[in-house]
Structure 1
Amino acid sequence: MLRATCAVVVLAALLPAFARAANPDPNQPSTATRLNPVTYDIDFRVIVTAPQGTKVLRVWVPVPLSDQGQEVKPGTFATFPVEVKPTTHTESVFGNTFAYFEFPNPQGAQIISHTFRATVWEQRWDVDPVKVTRVEKWPAVFDPYRRSESRVVVDDRFKKLAGQIAGDKPNPLAELNEIMAWATDNLTYDHSNTSLVASSEHALVKKRGDCSDYHGLCASLGRSLGLPTRVCYGLHLFPKNLPCHCKLEAFLPPYGWVSFDVSETQRLIKALESNADLKPGEKAALVKAAVDRLRKGFRDNTWLLHSKGTDYDLAPKASQKVPLVASIYAEADGKLLPLPDPADPTKREFAWMTAHKYTADRVAPYPFRDWKTLAPQK
């Protein structure tokens, strides 16, 4: 599907084979163009019920930080019915920040609320494949984005598949485009059959999953070809059953980190193809526009980043490394309270749940449902 629209590979072939990037830095500022800012007043709440007899309930709530795509004002945390003051900690691998709560001998549900204001921009990288360069030897600082992990696995199976999909392409962007096309053509979006933890294994074996499985697999295949990748989690800033959503990022010199949303683009394309109100020519043009937007790098203004990376120790440390933090992380006496998935209609019981309200200063259409957002930007 994506492959059919790939004109960029021809351009990428013009890149000299000897082109190389010098001194890449994972902290390089974003090179994206910022557009269409939206300011949100956010009321995010977590309701956690520990099992009967729990001695200590521990909860980590990610604290969104400002970057080139979002400006986050300091907010306020509160708890009910027991008053607990959080402490703030930053983990050492990816720099994610968490508000940490401890509830001794909790009785019944505990509610944590986080109210704050954030301005979020749409970001477009307009990546030119001719300009993307290959790194001869990545500095050690990129190791966390190239390693094999418990969920984002890099082994002989994934290396073989990555080579079959994209091993003959002229530059990293062309490789990544083929990987994203393969995922789009071979995976089915299914909240009833998902790992919820960015499992490349789940996606490879089941060929199904949610955003985390799509992007975990793409991250794995990218790393299998030597490309630094990461799964980034945040909040969709509109009403939905499960507020968390992840995106894929790849480091593409000279652009630095570039954002891609494979799963939502696939869903948009399917919606366009099944739209009876569109003529065949209109469908083809809109599908091409959706693919082009994906491949050039795009991050919408209806999503707020709160954490980057996978397979790391929280701060303070939990009982084990976490594969990721989608919305919160919680433990009762050192045992995980698993991520609930109310988007799965077969689920009925949850140890915790989120409630959320977002008030925007203007209407912000969701660009993966509103195909009018595919029109050229002025």
Structure 2
Amino acid sequence: AGARPGASATFEARHAFTVTPPAGAKDLRCWFAMPQQDPFQEVSVVRVTSPHPHRVVPDDQGNWFLYVEAKGPSIAPFEVVEEFGITRREVLTDVDPADTRPLFPGETRDMAAYLGSDAQVPVNEEFRKLALDITGGDRNPVSASRKLYDWTLKNVEYWVKYPDRLKASPVGSAEYCLASKTGNCTDFHSLWTALARSAGIPTRMVYGSFFKKSLDGKDADQSYHCWIEFWAPGIGWIVHDVAVADLFVGDFALNDGNREKVVLTTAAGYEKGDPAMVDYYFGNIDARRVVWHRGRDLVLEGASAPVNMLAKAWIEADGKPLKEKEGWTRKLTFREETR
């Protein structure tokens, strides 16, 4: 039992940020997402170009970010660039309920950080009741998680299927996703996390980006993506991506209004539904992605408040957050290395 590496892929990536400080700003603090080292992600030296001093800093959850600080009576717009090579390995897990058991009380205490609420992921009576209804009180973390996975596939629609009438929340909200029955990857996985934690299953969200096959070598941003890791005794952390799996249910038609969005919401493209891929994404994830961080409500030294998620950047001018596209932009581009 436990996760093991599968196929691998190697990429050369350029992660560029353009920062446009507001007029009169005197203190600019910037935290930029950077690739993490983990057993399934080998990162070569990150080369940083910045006109201002920079260093790598931690948050409170074991992640690392590139930090740039600029001071002065008048801070001009500037660019920060990270260039790195990365080899990602597919994550494969045999998800057999027979390989695990319900958590012991001591394990529940040890996993408390992955069982409580986040700002957009409440663990409360509403979610506990729904989780109980879905799982039937099943305390095996693998079989209960699969029931939550299947319920989500049946009851929530990825917004890109019907972009003319569905939309995502701007913050990744479990409550929005439950009420509207739609959303993007962060909405899907916030809802799943709220239900799983409410059922006593330790869960964390992973933020990253796809290296989208159709954008290889192109001057086009990869946006961001997120997925799930839940913990089961005897197995460890188990991945799943119920948001992408929802596309492979195949309960919608591709058309001129959704085709581009659907294709760019997957790692390697989309043609039609595939039940095998629905099963694959419970316990496995493809190699065409990069991990930026794990967790929500990140505490960064010097930031004005906990950060909901940091899959791109968090920038403050004189203690006030700057919005993406207004105060900064980001572009992640890549080229796949062939052997």
Q: Which amino acid aligns with 1:104?
A: K
Residue in 2 that maps onto 1:102: 69
Residue in 2 that maps onto 1:51: 22
CA distance in 1, matches of 2:136, 2:317: 46
Q: Which amino acid aligns with 1:209?
A: G
Residues 248 and 278 in structure 2, CA contact (< 8 A), matched pair in contact too? no
Residues 31 and 315 in structure 2, CA contact (< 8 A), matched pair in contact too? yes
Residue in 1 that maps onto 2:338: 362
Residue in 1 that maps onto 2:135: 166
1:205 aligns with 2:179: yes
Residues 78 and 114 in structure 1, CA contact (< 8 A), matched pair in contact too? yes
CA distance in 2, matches of 1:215, 1:232: 10
Q: How far has the Cα of 1:298 moved from its partner?
A: 0.9
1:103-182 matched pairs, under 5 angstroms: 103-105=70-72, 107-137=75-105, 138-169=107-138, 171-182=140-151
Q: Percent identity?
A: 29
Residues 236 and 244 in structure 1, CA contact (< 8 A), matched pair in contact too? yes
CA distance in 2, matches of 1:184, 1:246: 16
Q: 2:207 is paired with a residue of what secondary structure?
A: strand
CA distance in 2, matches of 1:302, 1:318: 31
CA distance in 2, matches of 1:286, 1:355: 30
Q: Which amino acid aligns with 1:55?
A: K
Q: How far has the Cα of 1:87 moved from its partner?
A: 1.7
Mark the runs of 5 or more structure 1 residues left unpaired by the alignment.
1-29, 277-284, 341-348, 364-378
Distance 1:141 1:112, change over 3 A: farther
Deviations 1:158-197 (A, max 9, x none): 1111111113336211211121122222222227732343
Q: How far has the Cα of 1:352 moved from its partner?
A: 1.9
1:1-378 matched pairs, under 5 angstroms: 31-79=2-50, 83-92=51-60, 94-105=61-72, 107-137=75-105, 138-169=107-138, 171-190=140-159, 193-238=167-212, 239=215, 241-270=221-250, 274=253, 287-295=274-282, 297-314=283-300, 316-338=301-323, 340=324, 350-362=326-338
Residues 248 and 275 in structure 2, CA contact (< 8 A), matched pair in contact too? no
Distance 1:170 1:89, change over 3 A: closer
Q: Which amino acid aligns with 1:219?
A: T
Q: Which amino acid aligns with 2:116?
A: R
Deviations 1:67-108 (A, max 9, x none): 1111111211112xxx1121211123x200011111224545
CA RMSD in angstroms comes to 2.3
Residues 78 and 85 in structure 1, CA contact (< 8 A), matched pair in contact too? no
Deviations 1:261-284 (A, max 9, x none): 11111113227x6479xxxxxxxx
Residue in 2 that maps onto 1:26: none
CA distance in 2, matches of 1:54, 1:242: 30
CA distance in 2, matches of 1:195, 1:51: 26
Q: How far has the Cα of 1:229 moved from its partner?
A: 0.3
Deviations 1:120-154 (A, max 9, x none): 11111021121121112125442211111211110
Q: Which amino acid aligns with 2:247?
A: R
Q: 1:264 is paired with a residue of what secondary structure?
A: helix
Q: 1:217 is paired with a residue of what secondary structure?
A: helix
Q: How far has the Cα of 1:317 moved from its partner?
A: 3.3
Q: Which amino acid aligns with 1:112?
A: V
CA distance in 2, matches of 1:220, 1:54: 39
Q: 2:193 is paired with a residue of what secondary structure?
A: helix
- State the TM-score, normalized to the length of structure 2: 0.84
CA distance in 2, matches of 1:139, 1:183: 24
Q: Which amino acid aligns with 2:67?
A: Y
- State the TM-score, normalized to the length of structure 1: 0.76
Q: 2:97 is paired with a residue of what secondary structure?
A: coil
Q: Which amino acid aligns with 1:291?
A: V
Mark the runs of 5 or more structure 2 residues left unpaired by the alignment.
161-165, 256-271
